[in-house]
Amino acid sequence: MPEDTITLTIDGQDVSANKGATILEAAADQGIDIPVICYHEATTPNGLCRVCVVDVDGGRVLQPACVAACQADSKVETDNERVVRSRRTILEMLNASVILEEAPEIQQMMRDNDADPQRFPHAQRRESELIDDNPFYVRDYAQCVLCWRCVQVCAEDAQFTFALTLNERGHDTAVSTAFDIGMTESPCVFCGQCIGVCPTGALKPKIEWGMEQGLDEDKLRALTRRGRKRDRDRA
């Protein structure tokens, strides 16, 4: 066996993996699907959402598969009772605080893990007004799961524009421009990469949003033109 290869078992299967490979990568090579929310192949994994946790050797804490490296001779279980219970609770807490109506993959995860949408009926919800401050896209942070993908593609992972950041702390943490300035005053170049990686409906092209609102062609055109105040007034 090459020196840079290790062996382990994942869900009872013998697996060879390159040293440094994550459990998520090794499992995917075996056709084992581990659910992810904050992970995206185009962004640096940060282990934020914890929906990908797996059991490694029955250890004290579950490991996030998207960032945890495979350990030689370890025994990984990706959907034992402990893992599923943890995953289910995470999904139930997320559902209790964020609107997930436009996040079909997360809704599917809830069904797959028997998550109860009513588990935490009195949880404090993430309240936020729709932000419509530019001609290109709208932001609805009531649907934001704080995966950080948009912040990362806007920064070192792709665009190097740094228009987005995280503001506040704890429950009030929210994606925002620096100092919460309007998007057209920020360094944003409206490349759309943030929309492309968002796993929910939190970020949406203005045209798509306008069509959902039932706006006609003239109103859509007026809404999506920059600086045409007269057009916007007419809309």
- Looking up tokens 């994994």 gives 45
Q: Which does 36 bind (CB under 5 to 8 A by kind): ligand SF4, ligand FES, none?
A: ligand FES
Q: CA 74, CA 158: separation in Å to the nearest integer?
A: 35
Q: CA 57, CA 77: separation in Å to the nearest integer?
A: 8
Q: Which of 56, 198, 220, 222 binds ligand SF4 (CB under 6 A)?
A: 198
Q: CA 153, CA 199: separation in Å to the nearest integer?
A: 13
Backbone angles phi, psi at 67, to 5 degrees: -125, -20
Mask for 147-186, x = binds ligand SF4 (CB under 6 A) = xxxx------------------------x-----------
Count of residues touching ligand FES (by CB under 6 A) = 12
100 contributes a contact to ligand SF4 by CB under 6 A: no
Q: Which does 106 bind (CB under 5 to 8 A by kind): ligand SF4, ligand FES, none?
A: none
222 contributes a contact to ligand SF4 by CB under 6 A: no
Query: Measured between alpha carbons, how far is residue 22 from residues 13, 28, 57, 126, 168 in Å?
Result: 16, 10, 16, 32, 31
Strand order in the sheet with 63-64: 13-18, 5-10, 75-77, 53-56, 63-64
200 contributes a contact to ligand SF4 by CB under 6 A: yes
39 contributes a contact to ligand FES by CB under 6 A: yes
> For ligand SF4, which stretch binds (CB under 6 A), given 116-124, 129-137, 178-186, 193-201?
193-201
76 contributes a contact to ligand SF4 by CB under 6 A: no
All residues at 6 or more sequence positions from 110 whose CB lies less than 8 Å from its CB, including other chains: 91, 92, 95, 100, 117
Please say whether the beta carbons of 137 and 195 come within 8 A: yes
Please say whether the beta carbons of 144 and 98 come within 8 A: yes
Query: Which 8-state DSSP code applies to residue 205?
Result: E
90 contributes a contact to ligand SF4 by CB under 6 A: no
Nearer to ligand SF4, 23 or 38 (CB): 38
The nearest distance, CB 160 to ligand SF4, in angstroms, is 17
Nearer to ligand SF4, 110 or 175 (CB): 175
38 contributes a contact to ligand FES by CB under 6 A: yes
Give contact residues for ligand FES (rule: CB under 6 A).
36-39, 47-52, 64, 66
